[in-house]
Structure 1
Amino acid sequence: MGRPEHIASLDGLRGLAAALVVMAHIGLVFPSLAAIHLPVMGSEAVGLFFALSGFLMAYLYGGQPVTRSTVLDFLVSRFARIYPVYLVAVVVVMILSIAPGLDYIQPIQGMKDFVRHVVLLGSSGVFWSVPPEIQFYLFFPVLWLCLGQPRQFPVLIAVLMALVAIDGLLGLPGPGILLPSKLPYFVFGAVAGRLHGLWGPASRSPFIGLLALLLPVLFMSYRYLLPTVDPGFWGVHSAFASAIIVALVAWQAPLSARIFASAPLRFLGAISFSLYLFHVPAMFLARRTLSGLLPESLVIPLTFVIAGLAAWFVHVTVEMPARQWLVGYWRKSGLRSGLVDTPTGKIEVPASN
């Protein structure tokens, strides 16, 4: 089975989500702006990231046979995609945290906290969202079976549906770094991704394109436009809405694709994970360096540019090379040849996914 068609509009949606996370932290980096009470949409952006992850995993892998070979290749590919650049970010933040007189704003507190982050149990700054992502990758083979061969695993599907329902009824319990607190986002996204793979990749409907543009705006703003009906963000309601938005954007109707598949948003999407991990350190250091030299009205936009450049640099020097080396090493290693059960289980994932 060939590789599924790349969905350019989802690159742009990922880029938009990353930009919203950066915007959400502007008041943290510049305390003078915190008093303005600008809308903060970081939670909405991360919810979209989780749904996107579920969608792409099911879309890219759902049609592949579930064998020891494909599962091992999947796990190595996803680990190589996430962990090396995450570890570099943790080390950078630790260095900033212990630097004398720097007073870093999202510190890792001591060696014990550093070890917690290394083993994916930390929650400083944006790092809290990486553990549930990795835990989802470990859980995904169960979803893979359910979505790829639903008639063979009705009991497993029923159990999974019950777990999602109970999780929702309990209010997505547990610490935010654990998968149960975010499970519906991944599951609903995965269902949408599998349906997209089965139904076809595109629609030319102007109405779908309009919905794909308007629904994200409503999703990002409803808590501010309608504060009297705000149920809080994290829950089954926003998980379902996140998956619907990803599904609509993935149809790539021409009207919405002009925006989401545009070059600027796709560029942000390509560097989105590095931008997500490194934007606060980059903006913090930029503010510390430039605040005495330029007025704040110029420093603020400059910090955005510096954050983007730093993310691009990390993407091309750490994120992509580390991923390519680890996946290449795995495919050539005797460990892989001794564990996999067929030579046809190789999975290649587009670099932007």
Structure 2
Amino acid sequence: MEIRKLYTLRALAALIVFFTHFSDVTNWLGGALGGGSGAYGVMLFFLLSGFLMAYLYLERGFQKKDISHYFLARVGRVLPLYLAVVFGSYLLSISGNDALYNIPDINALVGHLLFLHGDSVLWSIPPEIQFYFIFIIFWACAKSRKGYIYVSIFAVMILLFLFNFPRVSGDFNGVPYNEFNVLRSLPYFFVGVIFGMNYKSLMIPQYLRRHWFVLALCLIPLMYPDLTTVTSDAKRKMWLSYEVLFVMSTVFFCVVFLVPNNNVLLANKFGDFIGKISYSLYLLHMPVIVQVNKLNLSVELKLILSLSLSILAAYISFRYFEKPMAKLIRGKSPNKLSLGQQTSRTQA
């Protein structure tokens, strides 16, 4: 079953990151939309990833062919564009060009290829990849030991809190690694998994299914460091705050569970379009913003040009590279999905 509004939620996540970086680079609106606020977009991406993994896989069999299909689907979804950007950044960096991301030497390249380190927005891909392997453990428990999933999730979250999210980072023989990024991201994947496990079975009373719950999305800008009335360090230590996790989980729950699926703000062609190209938009927008900012234009024109070029680049990437590569890789799976499952899969 397709959950169409998830496209718009993914689109919103990508646009949050875009506007945050644009605000930081150009000081648009005095930088009020920046200051690390892009974290909220990435949090939505991680919640969505955990949700979709649980929603799509935990009720399926855990056989060799299923696992094979799972990994091919994940590889097809994430790796082609990521690897193209990483190798492109490396080749440009060693030639003295900063058009993409800063990967200046072979050690930095290896760190990216081993999913241990990521420059700029690329930092979020290693946690995503490492979560895919963690999810296999949950999947193995889903049929007969589902309770173990809850126990392990809560145990890990408590340990992370008690040990203050250990700063596991450094380099190994010159190859950089930063597992701190993974540790601080896990709670969002885990909450998404819990929601995905219960999406089909949780009985929401009809009187609670209301369109106005879409207003929960307004809680996100209210947490921006320069806009919030919160005085605790939660507004700066976003990833290390379970208060932020609670708010973001509440927003996600309201949108996914309480807002009707036909809500016009969440189920529309624009949301569908941006949601489908959101991965390309996420990976490609930052270089576009940086290059446009070098032009002698007003900040308003820079915004229009940056957004337009980022969407254009994302569409071209999705249409002519990301989508064909994903189809090619998934086509090697021995386990063919039904048409309905394929439709749902496009959201993962």
TM-score class, shorter-chain normalisation, is 0.7 to 0.9
Q: 1:87 to 1:125 in 2, by over 3 A?
A: same
Using structure 2 for the length normalisation, give the TM-score: 0.84
Q: Matches of 1:21 and 1:67 in 2, distance apart?
A: 38
The residue correspondences of 1:1-353 to structure 2 (distance < 5 A) are 5-30=1-26, 33=27, 36-40=30-34, 41-100=37-96, 102-104=97-99, 106-146=101-141, 148-149=142-143, 152=145, 154=147, 157-174=150-167, 175=178, 178-199=181-202, 205=207, 208-211=210-213, 213-222=214-223, 223=225, 224-231=227-234, 232-234=237-239, 235-251=241-257, 253-254=259-260, 257-288=263-294, 291-292=295-296, 294-331=297-334, 348=342, 350-353=345-348
The DSSP-based 3-state class of the residue aligned with 1:188 is helix
Moved more, 305-314 or 263-272: 263-272
Match of 2:75, as an amino acid? F
Contact 1:9 1:260 survives alignment (8 Å) = yes
Using structure 1 for the length normalisation, give the TM-score: 0.83
Q: Matches of 1:39 and 1:262 in 2, distance apart?
A: 25
Contact 1:25 1:280 survives alignment (8 Å) = yes
Residue 69 of structure 1: how far off its partner (Å) = 2.1
Q: Matches of 2:13 and 2:71 in 1, distance apart?
A: 25
Q: 1:165 to 1:309 in 2, by over 3 A?
A: same
Match of 1:233, as an amino acid? M
Q: Matches of 2:92 and 2:291 in 1, distance apart?
A: 9
Q: Matches of 1:209 and 1:35 in 2, distance apart?
A: 31
The DSSP-based 3-state class of the residue aligned with 2:325 is helix
Contact 2:219 2:251 survives alignment (8 Å) = no
> Residue in 1 aligned with 2:171?
none
State the Cα deviation string for residues 89-138 of structure 1 (Å, max 9, x = none): 112323443444x5558422222212211221222010110001011111
Q: 1:189 to 1:154 in 2, by over 3 A?
A: closer
Residue 20 of structure 1: how far off its partner (Å) = 0.6
Contact 1:53 1:186 survives alignment (8 Å) = yes
Q: Matches of 1:209 and 1:215 in 2, distance apart?
A: 10
RMSD over aligned CA atoms reads 2.8
Match of 1:318, as an amino acid? F
Question: Identity over aligned residues, as a percent?
Answer: 27
Structure with the largest fraction of helix: 1
Match of 1:75, as an amino acid? F
Q: 1:56 to 1:243 in 2, by over 3 A?
A: farther
Match of 1:45, as an amino acid? G
Q: 1:111 to 1:37 in 2, by over 3 A?
A: same
> Residue in 2 aligned with 1:336?
none
Match of 1:245, as an amino acid? V
The DSSP-based 3-state class of the residue aligned with 1:199 is coil
Residue 54 of structure 1: how far off its partner (Å) = 0.4
Moved more, 79-88 or 67-76: 67-76
Q: 1:220 to 1:170 in 2, by over 3 A?
A: farther
The DSSP-based 3-state class of the residue aligned with 1:225 is coil
Residue 81 of structure 1: how far off its partner (Å) = 0.6
> Residue in 2 aligned with 1:335?
none
Moved more, 245-254 or 269-278: 245-254
The DSSP-based 3-state class of the residue aligned with 1:135 is helix
Q: 1:105 to 1:271 in 2, by over 3 A?
A: closer
Contact 2:19 2:33 survives alignment (8 Å) = no
Residue 237 of structure 1: how far off its partner (Å) = 3.0
Q: 1:145 to 1:255 in 2, by over 3 A?
A: closer
Match of 1:192, as an amino acid? F
Moved more, 176-185 or 191-200: 176-185
Contact 2:4 2:272 survives alignment (8 Å) = yes
Residue 280 of structure 1: how far off its partner (Å) = 1.1
Residue 344 of structure 1: how far off its partner (Å) = 7.8
Task: Tell me how many residue pairs correspond in the alignment.
Answer: 328
Gaps of 5+ in 2: 168-177
Contact 2:73 2:326 survives alignment (8 Å) = yes
Q: Matches of 1:181 and 1:269 in 2, distance apart?
A: 25
Moved more, 257-266 or 40-49: 257-266
Contact 2:211 2:260 survives alignment (8 Å) = yes
Match of 2:211, as an amino acid? G
> Residue in 1 aligned with 2:173?
none
